[in-house]
């Protein structure tokens, strides 16, 4: 009996020693790489890291989930993070800065009611998310991903089966170390946010740019990498047209939402911004802010009593432009590149005349149709080629998903 006890004790000590001898896979302070169940090594090729388990776990992974598993197996956690870009930061956005400031204003006005709801929900959920992101050294602005992913609803379920505030698919949830079965950790605020922090860190370790991280969070890292390879650029604006349409809108929604909550939260609920508001700058002492709010509220109240809708920002078209412009209604998204090419219209002119078109593309426009502004002398060509424009655009948008 004594001999058997010695043998058992020796075996336990050897097992413990083998566990202790395993190298630490983490490469960031206070971080641990949790491999999916059945994955044997973070250095072995993906093909040799086959998931094993019960019938549910053996279900074939989607292409997106395989991409996420590959990111975990071969990816690197980020150690340092740049600031998250908000509208008004010309040093980051460059020539697109004016466009983004205008986009945020329009997004603010179009979604003021839903933003008010998010503001109320944020009081409860943001403190927990902030703490977890801070613990993982991730900028607090990344919490706005949960706003645009699920509207801060931990019971949200997407048409393709993504669940929870961070909208994890089953395979991605397992890859990030949480259980999507039973009580489903994807609905748990603490566990899902911790998993999201891990995933965000891996994506940043790969792309080193927050807009590309947001894009990859939506469509997966492979489409973003393909767009980078096609263009030879890692700038979001350069690769934007090579990304899925939904992803393009997702990034713009993130910039707008983050900018609104970080800079404009005191104006949410008023429905409009003070005309003299400057993005990226402090608007002044509290008294000046209160005065601006009171001024805006009084103007809206006066308009409401008079039965007149509040005046929105009107694009600054010249007299000649207005005389040479015509408007056509479209219900299907069109590629401005294709429209410009087929109708021989200057692309920059189309972009300036239709500066709110991205809202329509991301299904955030106030109406189901869009009033497309084109030169009058191109109207007959547009009517003649509308079906072709629609089919070519649909094919292009479909190809971007592949």
pLDDT in tens, 5-34: 444 344 433 333 333 333 333 333 333 334
Contact 251, 215 (CB under 8 A): yes
Give the CB-side neighbour count of residue 35, counting CA atoms within 13 A: 18
| Nearest CA among 248, 214, 252 for reference residue 335 | 248
pLDDT at residue 319 tops 70: yes
Confidence of residue 68 (pLDDT cuts 50, 70, 90): confident
SS3 content of the chain, % helix, strand, coil (to 5): 60, 5, 35
Which tokens is 391 given? 């089919």
Contact 182, 209 (CB under 8 A): no
pLDDT computed for residue 260 by the predictor = 94
Contact 68, 206 (CB under 8 A): no
As a dihedral over the C-alpha atoms of residue 66, residue 68, residue 74, residue 79, rounded to 10 degrees, the angle is 180
Tell me the per-residue pLDDT of 96-133, one tens digit each, with 9 for 90 and over: 999 999 999 989 988 888 899 999 999 999 999 999 99
Question: H/E element holding 326?
Answer: strand 325-330
Confidence of residue 189 (pLDDT cuts 50, 70, 90): very high
Contact 212, 200 (CB under 8 A): no
Radius of gyration of the chain (CA): 25
What one-character DSSP code corresponds to residue 46?
Answer: G
Which tokens is 199 given? 């995933």
Beta strand 370-375 pairing with 325-330:
antiparallel
CA distances from residue 225 to 54, 60, 213, 263, 311 in whole angstroms, order as listed: 33, 24, 11, 32, 43
pLDDT computed for residue 275 by the predictor = 76
Rounded to whole angstroms, the Cα distance separating 202 from 6 reads 45
pLDDT computed for residue 318 by the predictor = 81
Q: Which residues of 186-205 are buried (b: 16+ CB within 10 A; e: fewer)?
A: bbbbebbbbbbbbbbbbbbb
Phi, psi of 60 (to 5 degrees): -55, 135
As a whole number, the mean pLDDT across the chain is 78
Contact 258, 86 (CB under 8 A): yes
Tell me the per-residue pLDDT of 197-253, one tens digit each, with 9 for 90 and over: 999 999 999 999 999 999 999 999 999 999 999 999 999 999 998 999 889 999 999
What residues are paired with 237 via a beta bridge?
none
Domains (range + CATH), the chain? 90-267 (1.10.530.10), 319-401 (no CATH)
Which tokens is 153 given? 């609803």
pLDDT at residue 51 tops 50: no
């Amino acid at each position: 009996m004594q001999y058997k006890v010695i043998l058992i004790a020796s075996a336990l000590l050897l097992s413990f020693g083998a566990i202790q001898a395993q190298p630490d896979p983490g490469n960031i302070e206070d971080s641990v790489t949790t491999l999916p169940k059945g994955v044997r090594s973070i250095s072995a090729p993906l093909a040799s890291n086959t998931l094993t388990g019960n019938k549910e776990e053996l279900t074939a992974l989607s292409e997106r989930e395989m991409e996420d598993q590959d990111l975990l197996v071969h990816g690197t956690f980020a150690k340092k993070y740049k600031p998250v870009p908000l509208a008004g930061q010309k040093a980051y956005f460059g020539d697109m800065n004016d466009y983004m400031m205008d986009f945020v204003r329009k997004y603010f006005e179009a979604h003021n009611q839903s933003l008010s709801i998010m503001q109320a929900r944020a009081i409860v959920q943001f403190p927990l998310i902030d703490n977890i992101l801070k613990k993982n050294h991730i900028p607090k602005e990344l919490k706005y991903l949960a706003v645009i992913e699920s509207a801060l609803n931990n019971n949200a379920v997407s048409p393709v089966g993504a669940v929870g505030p961070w909208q994890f698919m089953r395979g991605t949830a397992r890859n990030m170390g949480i259980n999507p079965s039973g009580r489903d950790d994807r609905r748990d605020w603490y566990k899902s946010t911790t998993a999201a922090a891990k995933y965000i860190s891996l994506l940043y370790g790969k792309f080193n740019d927050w807009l590309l991280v947001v894009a990859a969070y939506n469509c997966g890292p492979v489409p973003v990498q393909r767009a980078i390879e096609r263009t030879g650029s890692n700038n979001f604006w350069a690769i934007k047209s090579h990304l899925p349409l939904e992803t393009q809108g997702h990034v713009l929604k993130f910039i707008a939402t983050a900018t609104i909550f970080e800079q404009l939260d005191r104006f949410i609920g008023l429905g409009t911004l003070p005309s003299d508001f400057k993005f990226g700058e402090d608007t002044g002492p509290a008294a000046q802010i209160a005065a601006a709010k009171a001024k805006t509220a009084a103007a809206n109240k006066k308009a409401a009593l008079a039965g007149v809708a509040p005046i929105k920002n009107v694009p600054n078209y010249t007299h000649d432009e207005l005389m040479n412009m015509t408007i056509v209604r479209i219900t299907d998204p069109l590629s401005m590149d294709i429209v410009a090419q087929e109708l021989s219209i200057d692309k920059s002119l189309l972009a300036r005349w239709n500066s709110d078109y991205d809202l329509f593309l991301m299904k955030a426009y106030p109406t189901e149709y869009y009033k497309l502004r084109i030169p009058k002398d191109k109207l007959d060509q547009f009517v003649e080629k509308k079906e072709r424009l629609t089919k070519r655009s649909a094919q292009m948008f479909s190809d971007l998903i592949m």
